[in-house]
């Protein structure tokens, strides 16, 4: 099993793994405690996904993103969670709008995800007919 860590302070804008993975933008990750989309953050809880046959687990604890995988997954984790995006620059270049400022502040560290195309397509097709919680349990 390969393992690694990425310091959150090294990421521009940080990372809020809970908000990123439970915001409704991805259905390809599962929270190990089975409480995904329950509305309750679980600091230190593992999130699990499979990419190209490799299992990847990730969690944040003590200021680091820890990952474990069946392969050296750091490049994949960085790509999936878009850890190289400069969130601070994105916020700085956004229009000056109080509503945007409020959203950025409320959801600091939430990142967009990059999921594999096929899983994203299937999730999108299913989402037209289901609520987030039901969709997640169906996939």
For the cut 70, the answer to whether the pLDDT of residue 136 exceeds it is no
For the cut 80, the answer to whether the pLDDT of residue 127 exceeds it is no
Q: Which residue has the higher pLDDT, 28 or 127?
A: 28
Q: What is the pLDDT of residue 134?
A: 60
Q: How many CB atoms lie within 10 A of CB 124?
A: 11
List strand residue ranges (DSSP E) for the chain, in order: 2-7, 30-31, 47-51, 54-61, 64-69
Residues 5-19, mean pLDDT to the nearest whole number = 97
Q: What is the pLDDT of residue 138?
A: 56
Q: What is the pLDDT of residue 103?
A: 92
Which residues fall within 8 angstroms of residue 115, CB to CB, at 6 or more apart?
26, 28, 80, 123
d(CA 89, CA 33): 35
Residues 64-69, mean pLDDT to the nearest whole number = 98
Q: What is the pLDDT of residue 27?
A: 85
Q: What is the pLDDT of residue 82?
A: 98
Domains of the chain by start residue, with CATH: 2-138 (3.30.310.260)
Reported as a pLDDT band with limits 50, 70 and 90, residue 102 is very high
Residues 84-93, mean pLDDT to the nearest whole number = 95
Which residues fall within 8 angstroms of residue 98, CB to CB, at 6 or more apart?
none
For the cut 80, the answer to whether the pLDDT of residue 2 exceeds it is yes
Reported as a pLDDT band with limits 50, 70 and 90, residue 123 is confident
């Amino acid at each position: 099993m390969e393992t690694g860590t990425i310091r959150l302070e090294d990421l521009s804008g940080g990372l809020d793994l809970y908000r990123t993975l439970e915001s409704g933008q991805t259905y390809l990750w599962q929270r190990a405690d089975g409480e995904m989309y329950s509305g309750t953050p679980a600091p230190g809880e593992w999130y699990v996904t499979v990419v190209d046959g490799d299992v990847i687990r990730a969690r944040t604890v003590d200021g680091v993103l820890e990952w474990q995988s069946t392969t050296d997954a750091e490049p994949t984790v960085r790509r999936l969670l878009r850890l190289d995006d400069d969130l601070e620059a994105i916020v700085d270049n956004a229009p000056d709008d109080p509503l945007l400022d409020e959203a950025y502040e409320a959801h600091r560290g939430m990142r967009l995800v990059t999921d594999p195309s096929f899983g994203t397509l299937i999730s999108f097709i299913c989402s037209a007919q289901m609520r987030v919680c039901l969709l997640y349990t169906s996939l």
